[in-house]
């Protein structure tokens, strides 16, 4: 799809046809149908620190119809989503200020001889050792979700691509509380949804397979995905909108958050799972599911889990900011594009997200070392 135009009008080229479009201050998913996709309108554009002046606007969703006299904002379509890296940890060089090559733009202070280095994931030469390590972090992620209050009945699941058989993935069993999950409880399933003998012999959630199998198939660059019905996530999902770039923590999701603008009931088919996976596009790690909740993904389960914690808190902050903005004289101040891009690169990359999860991991393992069994 190409977007062009000047002045107050613009057109989109969808399948070779020129269509008038109206743009909104939202960022969204690739079109769902081959003909056109849906849009989520923004009822009011900011005036102070406005998107027109300080932000790029993004629209990959267009409507094939419009009303006479409607105004249009020209939007530069772009995708500045965080790119992933295949670099591995290496020993930091001795200097006053050091930078571990695994961590892009992560600066820390250590000793002058370089003995104090930042923690980073281990490098494995044995796939069985790698599997064990990743399963331990997956089990710990469920404990973290329980402490964060993300549990609700049998809803919610986290999956991890198996490092030995990439078409298979590990996931939580149905009807096991997050706070009780151990490594030995994790279930291994293949691409058809069959429970395999290498893992726990328990059933899994059908909608979980429908969603996670399609994400793992569509995005080989991602190895983990999280979904839960967190309170703030599902409240914010009712609006079918992305986050506004109002505060530093939201910048982790700058140009890296999609919205799936429909609700088709409980996800019971792989076709619906495929549409959700399509909403992520080729680069986004997180997606708001309208009227449902949210999904976060990552190269590691640590990254995906921390992004979920962070996104739920951002949804909470957005709701609070929206409520406060209704008060006279309380106008939102939006972060500028240049600052947003720079901060996202520094604070939103996969390495930073892995590191940010480690305190949570340490906490749950110290409280109950049995999680690793």
Q: How far apart are CA 301 and CA 120, in angstroms?
A: 14
Contact by Cβ (8 Å): 315, 243: yes
The answer to whether residue 83 is domain-embedded is no
Q: How far apart are CA 163 and CA 158, in angstroms?
A: 16
Looking up residue 303, the CATH number of its domain turns out to be 3.40.225.10
Taking 70 as the threshold, does the pLDDT of residue 321 lie above it?
Answer: yes
Overall number of domains in the chain = 3
Helix 301-325 crosses helix 127-147 at what angle (to 10 degrees)? 30
C-alpha dihedral (219, 276, 189, 149), degrees to nearest 10? 110
Contact by Cβ (8 Å): 289, 308: no
Taking 80 as the threshold, does the pLDDT of residue 338 lie above it?
Answer: yes
Which residues, other chains included, contact 251 with Cβ-Cβ below 8 Å and sequence gap of 6+?
245, 335, 340, 343, 344, 347, 348
* pLDDT score for 116: 82
- 113 and 159 fall within a common domain: no
- 156 and 191 fall within a common domain: yes
**Minimum mean pLDDT range among 61-70, 267-276, 325-334:** 61-70
Q: How far apart are CA 373 and CA 363, in angstroms?
A: 16
- 106 and 192 fall within a common domain: no
* pLDDT score for 339: 96
* pLDDT score for 203: 97
Q: Which residue has the higher pLDDT, 142 or 345?
A: 142
Per residue in 205-254, pLDDT (tens digit) is 999 999 999 999 999 999 999 999 999 999 999 999 999 999 999 999 99
Per residue in 7-31, pLDDT (tens digit) is 333 333 334 444 433 322 333 333 3
- 300 and 186 fall within a common domain: yes
Q: How far apart are CA 143 and CA 38, in angstroms?
A: 37
Taking 50 as the threshold, does the pLDDT of residue 355 lie above it?
Answer: yes
Judged by DSSP in three states, 43 sits in: coil
What average pLDDT is seen over the chain? 78
CA angle 224–230–235, rounded 5-degree value = 125
Taking 50 as the threshold, does the pLDDT of residue 93 lie above it?
Answer: no
- 51 and 200 fall within a common domain: no
94: domain range? Answer: 89-122
């Amino acid at each position: 799809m190409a977007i062009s135009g000047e002045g107050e009008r613009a057109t989109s080229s969808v399948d070779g046809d020129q269509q008038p479009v109206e743009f909104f201050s939202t960022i969204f998913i690739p079109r769902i149908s081959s003909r056109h996709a849906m849009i989520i309108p923004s009822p009011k554009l900011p005036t102070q620190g406005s998107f027109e002046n300080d932000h790029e606007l993004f629209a990959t969703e267009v409507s094939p119809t419009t009303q006479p006299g409607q105004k249009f904002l020209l939007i530069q379509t772009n995708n500045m989503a965080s790119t992933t890296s295949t670099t591995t940890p290496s020993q930091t060089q001795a200097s006053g200020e050091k930078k571990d090559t695994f961590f892009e733009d992560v600066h820390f202070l250590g000793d002058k001889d370089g003995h104090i280095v930042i923690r980073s994931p281990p490098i494995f030469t044995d796939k069985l050792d790698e599997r064990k390590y990743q399963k331990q972090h997956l089990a710990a992620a469920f404990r973290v979700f329980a402490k964060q209050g993300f549990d609700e009945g049998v809803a919610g699941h986290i999956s991890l691509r198996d490092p030995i058989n990439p078409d298979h993935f590990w996931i939580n069993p149905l009807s096991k509380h997050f706070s009780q999950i151990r490594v030995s409880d994790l279930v291994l399933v293949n691409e058809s949804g069959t429970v395999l003998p290498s893992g726990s012999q328990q059933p899994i959630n059908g909608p979980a397979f429908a969603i996670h199998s399609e994400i793992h198939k569509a995005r080989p660059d991602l190895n983990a995905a999280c979904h839960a019905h967190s309170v703030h996530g599902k409240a914010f999902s009712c609006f079918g909108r992305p986050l506004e770039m109002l505060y530093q923590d939201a910048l982790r999701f700058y140009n890296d958050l999609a919205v799936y603008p429909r609700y088709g009931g409980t996800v019971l088919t792989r076709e619906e799972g495929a549409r959700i996976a399509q909403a992520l596009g080729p680069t986004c790690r997180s997606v708001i599911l309208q009227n449902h909740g949210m999904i976060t993904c990552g190269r590691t389960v640590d990254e995906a889990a921390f992004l979920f914690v962070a996104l739920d808190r951002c949804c909470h902050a957005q709701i609070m900011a929206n409520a406060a903005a209704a008060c006279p004289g309380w106008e939102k101040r939006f972060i500028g594009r240049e600052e947003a891009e720079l901060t996202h690169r520094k604070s939103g990359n996969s390495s930073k997200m892995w590191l940010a999860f480690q305190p949570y991991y340490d906490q749950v393992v110290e409280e109950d070392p049995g999680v690793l069994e």
